[in-house]
Amino acid sequence: MSLDDKGVYGLLQRCDTTGIFQLESEGMRGYLKKLQADSFEDIVAMLALYRPGPLDAGMVDDYINVKHGKQEVKYPHPMLEGILKPTNGVFLYQEQVMKSAQVMADYSLGGADLLRRAMGKKIAEEMDAQRSVFVKGAAKHDIDERKANEIFDLIDKFSGYGFNKSHSVAYAYVSYQTAWLKVHYPAAFMASVLSGMMTDTDRISFTVGETQAMGLVVKGPSVNESLYEFSIQDDKTLTYGLGAIKGVGESLVEVLVTEREKKGHYQDMFDFCMRIEKKMLNKRALEALIYSGALDGFKIDRAILINTYPSAVRQAEQRQNDHSSGQSGLFADASECNEYETHYLPVPSFSFRQTLQFENKVMGYYFYNHPTDEYQHDLQYISAAFPSQLTYRNNKEVRVLGLLSDVYYRNTKNGKLMASITLEDSKTTLNGVIFSKVLSTEVDEKHSVSDALVADTVVVAAGKIERDDYRDGWQLVVDKIENIDVVKEKHARSFEIVLNNQHTSLFEKLSTVLKKNQGQCPVRLHYQVKQSRGFALLDAAYLVTPNQQLIDEVNALLGTQSSHISYN
């Protein structure tokens, strides 16, 4: 394998190192960004440098700054230039310590190894003996005692940080190989990486996002396409592994895939239930498959699938019992014949929010859509933006709508409480900080800032963007934060409902829903009867709280997109 592949170094320079051996941590990415590696030797050096000792000693920065001409390289002695030049003047490898002793003080290979061991043990008597040998050997090269002691002390200092170069080269070669595979076989590589983290949903969520950012497509799980692990359809498309769904075991997937390969795709949920042995398909597994979208290929609404599967399972069990007892009926020899009627039981669809909640329950994160997606229409009316829409500039004032995915409280040095938060949308995350003064303030007479700090809820946060040097990124210093429903209520002008003559029988139920959600927002009805159109503003008895819960309830009763909020 050639070690000068431009694609590999381009990947490292972009810090696109998810899945790359030894190079994927956040801290390592930060240094790779500064390093801009363009040779295999850079990778070897970085792996040796990225350890507590060299990091604390500032050796990483020295190496990088010399590489980019920001700092002049300095050698302790001209005789050491040939040894330290490959590492930009930094004592990095144990082999350099040994070679320095050979060159400057006429150590033998065995003697240099004894010096390395002595420096590692830091035993005073051994070190004094080695110092004496070093100074005497250096004198043969016209190096005075003061300078020889100075160099010995320097070698001694850095020997504690020295890494075995042969080890670093071996690690770097594996790093290079994995990077090469990612460059040249991206879909297969990422499928393999994802398959290695099947039970860690946080890592899967991050890695799926990284995979999509590479321009690859990750198709959702499917009983007609997926295997247990992540797989590929072509060089641009991955298929989700069924094993990454909570509640779906490997034994079930093995039976499912074997049956599919033997007899072809499953035609519908009834066909699926009948062809999978009943002892393998329990309630938890079937619900997980439905909620994850693995049965979406049947083109039946998920809520209907959930409502229908008990009857489908009963029919399948009856058929399997008949078959095992020899009572297969009229079509005993027609193996492909479906003896049972395919009948789905209608039920209102899940709301957008319910669909996401069920999906998150079995997949561990939001795969198909994100909780912030349903507020796309609201952004312009509440003067907010998603984190991914922001233009980052120091001290810029912003209003951000995002999912509050993490809240962490801690005490300041003065003992006051502050909070660190993470806001996210479907594309990116934004870290934020709320200082104690803001944390204790009241947003209005009903709500405080702390009331809005509930994880996994959508909020609107206002404040200033500041440079976050610790993470080498940006953060939001929050001045105000509110739940999205509170913000929408403040900006709402009216709650709009669209009716037609098919809704007449539902008026009483609609009245109940509206009165159950009492508030301060007027309700306006838009109606169409035959060729006539009009609107009516309901009286004060029907003032409502205009939030997503009310929209979901009205839409479930009257039909999708039957209601919305009109803003000032």
Residue 564's CB is within 10 A of a number of other CB atoms, namely: 17
Q: State pLDDT tens for residues 444-495.
A: 767 778 888 999 999 999 999 999 877 778 999 999 999 999 999 999 999 9
- The kind and range of the H/E element at 27 are helix 26-35
pLDDT, the chain, mean? 92
Residue-range domains of the chain with CATH: 6-165 (no CATH), 188-324 (1.10.150), 373-485 (2.40.50.140), 489-567 (no CATH)
pLDDT band at 328 (very low <50, low <70, confident <90, very high): low
Q: State pLDDT tens for residues 52-95.
A: 888 988 899 999 999 999 999 999 999 999 999 999 999 899 89
**Backbone torsions φ then ψ of 20, nearest 5 degrees:** -90, 125
Burial track 421-438 (b if 16+ CB lie within 10 A, e otherwise): bbbbbbeebbbbbbeeeb
pLDDT attached to residue 157: 82
pLDDT attached to residue 330: 47
Taking Cα atoms as reference points, which of 264, 64, 66, 92 lies closest to residue 163? 92
Pairing of strands 523-529, 492-500: parallel
pLDDT band at 117 (very low <50, low <70, confident <90, very high): confident
Q: State pLDDT tens for residues 389-415.
A: 999 999 999 999 999 999 999 998 888
Tokens of 97: 């310590």
- The kind and range of the H/E element at 500 are strand 492-500
Q: State pLDDT tens for residues 419-447.
A: 999 999 999 999 999 999 998 887 776 77
Q: State pLDDT tens for residues 336-375.
A: 445 667 899 999 899 899 999 999 999 999 999 999 999 9
Q: Under a CB-based contact definition with an 8 Å cutoff, are residues 551 and 378 in contact?
A: no
pLDDT attached to residue 331: 47
Q: State pLDDT tens for residues 120-143.
A: 777 788 888 899 999 999 999 999
Alpha helices in 220-351 (DSSP H): 250-263, 269-275, 283-291, 302-324
Alpha helices in 332-394 (DSSP H): 352-363, 379-382
Give the integer Cα–Cα distance in Å for 109 and 559: 84
Taking Cα atoms as reference points, which of 496, 488, 209 lies closest to residue 370? 209
pLDDT attached to residue 340: 64
Q: Under a CB-based contact definition with an 8 Å cutoff, are residues 452 and 446 in contact?
A: no
Residues 297-314 have a mean pLDDT of 96
Amino acid identity, position 42: D
CA 105 to chain centroid, in Å, comes to 54
pTM above 0.75, yes or no: yes
Give the integer Cα–Cα distance in Å for 563 and 525: 9
Mind spelling out the 3-state secondary structure of 402-460? EEEEEEEEEECCCCCEEEEEEEECCCCEEEEEECHHHHCCECCCCCECHHHCCCCEEEE
469 or 202, greater pLDDT: 202
Q: What angle do CA 18, 20, 22 make, to 5 degrees?
A: 110
pLDDT attached to residue 210: 95
CA 231 to chain centroid, in Å, comes to 19
The helix, strand and coil proportions of the chain, stated in percent and rounded to the nearest 5, come to 50, 20, 35
Q: State pLDDT tens for residues 506-539.
A: 999 999 999 999 999 999 999 987 778 899 999 9
Q: Under a CB-based contact definition with an 8 Å cutoff, are residues 77 and 143 in contact?
A: yes
Length of the chain: 568
Give the integer Cα–Cα distance in Å for 341 and 328: 16
Angle of helix 145-159 versus helix 109-121 axis, rounded to 10: 70
Burial of 481 (0-12, 13-18, 19+ CB in 10 A): buried
Gyration radius of the chain over CA positions: 33
Give the integer Cα–Cα distance in Å for 101 and 26: 37
